[in-house]
Amino acid sequence: MTFAALQKSARARHLSILGGFHPDAGDDVPQACRTILLLGPDEPAFWPAYQDSPEAMDGAPDPMDRWSRRVIGAWAETLGAQALYPFGGPPFLPFYSWALRSGRVHAAPVQFLVHDTAGLMVSFRGALALQAHIDLPDSPPSPCQTCAATPCVTACPVAALTPRATTYRRARHIWIRRPDRTVSPGAAGCAGPAQSLSVLAACLRNPNITCANSKGPDMKRLILMRHAKSDWSGEALIDHDRTLNDRGRANARALGDWLRDQGIVPDEVLCSSAVRTQETLAGLNLPGGIKTRITRKLYLASLDQILSLLQRATGNSVLVLGHNPGIGMCADEILATAPDHPQFIGFPTGATLVADFDQDMWSLVGWGKGHPAAFVVPRDLSH
């Protein structure tokens, strides 16, 4: 089984393999998966074929999603692979992160994904999780590097994706009123102003592509916390099993008191499986009944791993308790502007960031989207 043969089979189904990657141990993929292949429409053949499909003509809801499940699901079965989809959540699978992992998809200036051939019109109908290692072609550079005109920035209403944006619902309303626009990629794979409404629609159809000012009734809050001070005296212990020292236990209790004083109580907790993070969580003395997940995936997790877990959260206020460097880097990357605190960059043990988001779904949260609501380190609480 080769990439070329699989691409030929994809095109026979009016699909195209838009990228792929070989998962690492920490990637959020099915067990024993050795290759992920991302599938999107094979234009221009896809749309006419889809319009003639039973799903497009039966009048039932979600025709394209049902088409995707039928076509990709049947193909996956013949390959002995698992079919994965960007819809059907929450929680949503991290297609946004997977796309960036492929090396063929990049973040455009308006935060849409941009593909080396599909441009800003890249979208995914599903993915194949294969247990075989498939050699993948080399990835070309981002088309944004050679796109001097940047039509994605100047086209209207793509300005709806900036901080001065109209709301998600208004943007969606604009698209519904103008469903007649079609797309042909412009220079360097970008869509020009005449295609901007269709570019917007492509984003709205995909829950894993981020719109900047998606407003709704349940805005999300993230409490990002590094574990309290740990004990280094037990030389025989492996790192995962290190406990808190006396100072760390006192700091955890103080952080719990601070959260309660501020009226900040999570309704979901994602905590690293390390002993020191679990002891920090216990020291916070949070109310009972909070949905809590202890996971090894947060132990020394990377930026992408943390974001992937967060994007699959279901609560409105989520506490993520983990380790540096990942937690500190996540705090820095997830905010639009950093809080004015001398300890923020170092993110010492016990550092706690509270960030609010305009998005009403965690799957829409991404880097640079958060607004700092509070930041504290244990030293602030000792005075």
What is the pLDDT, as a whole number, of residue 231?
Answer: 85
SS3 string of the chain? CCHHHHHHHHHHCCEEEEEEECCCCCCCCCCCCCEEEEEEECCCCHHHHHHCCHHHHCCCCCHHHHHHHHHHHHHHHHHCCEEECCCCCCCCCCHHHHHHHHCCEEECCCCCEEECCCECCCCCCEEEEECCCCCCCCCCCCHHHHCCCCHHHHCCCHHHHCCCCCCHHHHHHHHHHCCCCCCCCCHHHCCCHHHHHHHHHHHHHCCCCCCCCCCCCCCEEEEEEECCCECCCCCCCCHHHCCECHHHHHHHHHHHHHHHHCCCCCCEEEEECCHHHHHHHHHHCCCCCCEEEEEHHHCCCCHHHHHHHHCCCCCCEEEEEECCCHHHHHHHHHECCCCCCCCCCCCCCCCEEEEEECCCCHHHCCCCCEEEEEEECHHHHCC
All residue ranges of the chain with pLDDT < 70 are 26, 108-112, 149-218, 234-237, 383
- pTM here is 0.47
Return the CATH architecture of domain 220-381.
3-Layer(aba) Sandwich (3.40)
| Residue 232, pLDDT score | 80
Q: What is the pLDDT of residue 40?
A: 94
Q: What is the pLDDT of residue 201?
A: 40
pLDDT at 160: 46
The pLDDT of residue 219 is 83
